[in-house]
Structure 1
């Protein structure tokens, strides 16, 4: 409960909000974009530019932001690979798959 109250108190100032949750937000968005199936809905490229601009104003440390986003991208990519390895073959083997037509899969291979 105290964290929620802290969050809403920091909403009053954008600078404080970025300092309070900037790195976590960067990590979560980059991780979700690279590792989960919601990547096409997230603003990854524009987030990189925005993070650079925010860092240039002194609200984020550029080195820490780069390390955070690199770690998020590597972990997200590994997570996406593991998800695909675990459930990917079952998607391709379904007779009437919503996303993958077995006939098109054989043509592509």
Structure 2
């Protein structure tokens, strides 16, 4: 079953919980499709299945709490933690991935936590790596909260209103509107991620 179909099949309360849990686990360091779940939930909100405010709130809460737990785990586990993760999840925690993410942290500091929310690699690694590198918690917390709210709230808002526009102009062809909303939402997300990645690589932050 597709993620969107699964979310639509469950009650709204469980949908909000699923958004918070999946995004929280991803932010903690477990490679899960948090962004896909968020976009799917926002599209369902545009179709009246859920309320966009609660989608955004639950997504933000999951992101902030998950990253905070990841920070604690990283601070306690340190480098040996990443060595174990590399053996279990080489595609996500391989030496090259960790080294690249660590390079961003050394280069941009707290900004890597904020911008990392928009980039898949850093979204998974930001919390644990910030803890392992002993970033002061107050700095991490500020960037974590701001990044979580901007990413979750912004994504929900953009996808929700694009979904409403698609439904309005393609009334009577709901499936077409859904496809258009999905495509636009994905393209917007990819564009933002590409811009964030380029900013990091070029040192524009």
Q: Same fold (TM over 0.5)?
A: yes
* Residue in structure 2 matching 1:61, options 40, 51, 58: 51
CA distance in 1, matches of 2:35, 2:49: 19
Deviations 1:2-34 (A, max 9, x none): xxxxxxxxx9x82xx142410111111000000
CA distance in 1, matches of 2:53, 2:13: 17
Indicate yes or no: 2:14 matched with 1:21. Answer: yes
Q: Are the structure 2 counterparts of residues 70 and 81 from structure 1 closer, same or farther at C-alpha, using a change threshold of 3 Å?
A: same
CA distance in 1, matches of 2:64, 2:13: 24
The structure with more helix, counted as a fraction of residues: 2
The correspondence of residues 22-101 of structure 1 with structure 2, limited to 5 A, is 22-36=15-29, 38-39=30-31, 42-89=32-79, 91=80, 99=86
The Cα shift of 1:59 comes to 1.3
In structure 1, the residue matched to 2:196 is none
Once superposed, what is the RMSD of the aligned Cα atoms? Answer: 2.9
Q: Which runs of 4+ in 1 moved over 4 A?
A: 97-101
Matched residue count: 83
Q: Which runs of 5+ in 1 are unaligned?
A: 1-10
TM-score normalised over the length of structure 2? 0.35
TM-score normalised over the length of structure 1? 0.63
CA distance in 2, matches of 1:80, 1:43: 17
Deviations 1:44-84 (A, max 9, x none): 22112101111111111101110110011000011000000
CA distance in 2, matches of 1:66, 1:88: 32
Q: Which runs of 5+ in 2 are unaligned?
A: 1-5, 87-93, 107-205
